[in-house]
Amino acid sequence: MSILPRPCLILTVIEGRITDIRIGACEPDIILHDYDWGESDPHPSRDRDGHAFTKIRWRQSVWKLGLSLYPPETET
């Protein structure tokens, strides 16, 4: 039995935003588990602890997700 190496997750960051996601040499399908929407979702998925989340399958370009490494801005 051979042990395969774990795939490597690469996040490409430009100006604080994630612009590309790769796992190994592949661009993966992106599935988000959105807990913010879960409680208002009429048919939510549940994690192993029973918490509701909305499963979102992202099929557009990664940069359109708008993922950022910075915390959200707060109004003063």
pTM over 0.75: no
Residue with tokens 């399958």: 57
What is the phi-psi region of residue 16: left when phi exceeds 0, alpha when psi lies from -120 to 50, beta otherwise? left
What is the helix (H) or strand (E) element at residue 31, kind and residue range?
strand 30-34
Cα 52 from Cα 55, distance rounded (Å):
10
> Domain extents for the chain?
9-65
Task: Read off the amino acid at residue 52.
Answer: A
Say whether pLDDT at 31 is over 90.
no
Kindly state the average pLDDT of the residues 37-61. Answer: 92
**How confident is residue 71, by pLDDT bands cut at 50, 70 and 90?**
low
pLDDT at 69 (0 to 100) = 72
**How confident is residue 46, by pLDDT bands cut at 50, 70 and 90?**
very high
Cα 49 from Cα 42, distance rounded (Å):
19
Cα 55 from Cα 27, distance rounded (Å):
19
pLDDT at 76 (0 to 100) = 62
